[in-house]
Structure 1
Amino acid sequence: MAEQQPPKIEFPCDNYRISVMGVADDGFHESVLEVVRKHAPDHDGQYTLRDSSKGRFVAVVVTIRATGEEQLRALHNDLKANKNVRMVL
């Protein structure tokens, strides 16, 4: 059985969606947006929030213009460095 390869992304990708799940607190979404702006300075500031069923966690969803794998890797690493982030998709 052949190993399945993940789909390749063609860069630039204008509608690259990132979901960041973390502890729901007052500054969480702002800290996520700060990291996003660092790596995608042309981000329009739009985001959506989704609360967990018990309200302990929140997902911040943003769409950026992805310019390459290096940008996405650095963005992912910086987001994971936030102590309140539980998952980055």
Structure 2
Amino acid sequence: MEYERPHMDFPTIFRLRVIGANQDDFATFVMVEVRKHVPDLTEDGIEARPSNGGKYLAVKVSFVAESREQLDAIYAHLSAQDRVIYLL
């Protein structure tokens, strides 16, 4: 069975969550990588929260998504990064 994506109207506010090891620069790493696709992303659009045990860091990134293709490119790019464990 083929997965059907929900319909989205663009531009839209999109919230992405990126999870990786809780290292000092993980939030900065995520911001730099997402900026490759969202050049106007600011630090105000980034929120980081460690897991209960402190081993992982969840970075929430909020931005205006311009198209489905842009979102697909962001997901593909981040998925290819060794530091990224999970994307939501």
- Shorter-chain TM range is 0.7 to 0.9
Q: CA deviation at 1:4?
A: 8.6
Q: CA RMSD in A?
A: 1.6
> What is the aligned counterpart of 1:36 among 34, 37, 41?
34
Q: CA deviation at 1:44?
A: 2.3
| Runs of 4 or more above 3 Å deviation | 3-6
Q: Distance in 2 between matches of 1:78 and 1:4?
A: 21
The aligned length equals: 86
Q: TM-score, normalised by structure 2?
A: 0.87
The sequence identity of aligned pairs, in percent, is: 36
Give the match for residue 27 of structure 1. Answer: 25
Q: What runs of 5+ residues in structure 2 fail to find an aligned partner?
A: none
Q: Determine which structure has more spread, i.e. the larger CA radius of gyration.
A: 1
Q: TM-score, normalised by structure 1?
A: 0.87
Q: Distance in 1 between matches of 2:42 and 2:6?
A: 26
Question: Which one-letter code corresponds to 2:17 in the other structure?
Answer: S
Q: Distance in 2 between matches of 1:75 and 1:4?
A: 19
Q: Distance in 1 between matches of 2:26 and 2:79?
A: 13
Give the match for residue 12 of structure 1. Answer: 11
Q: Distance in 2 between matches of 1:78 and 1:85?
A: 10
Q: Distance in 1 between matches of 2:77 and 2:43?
A: 18
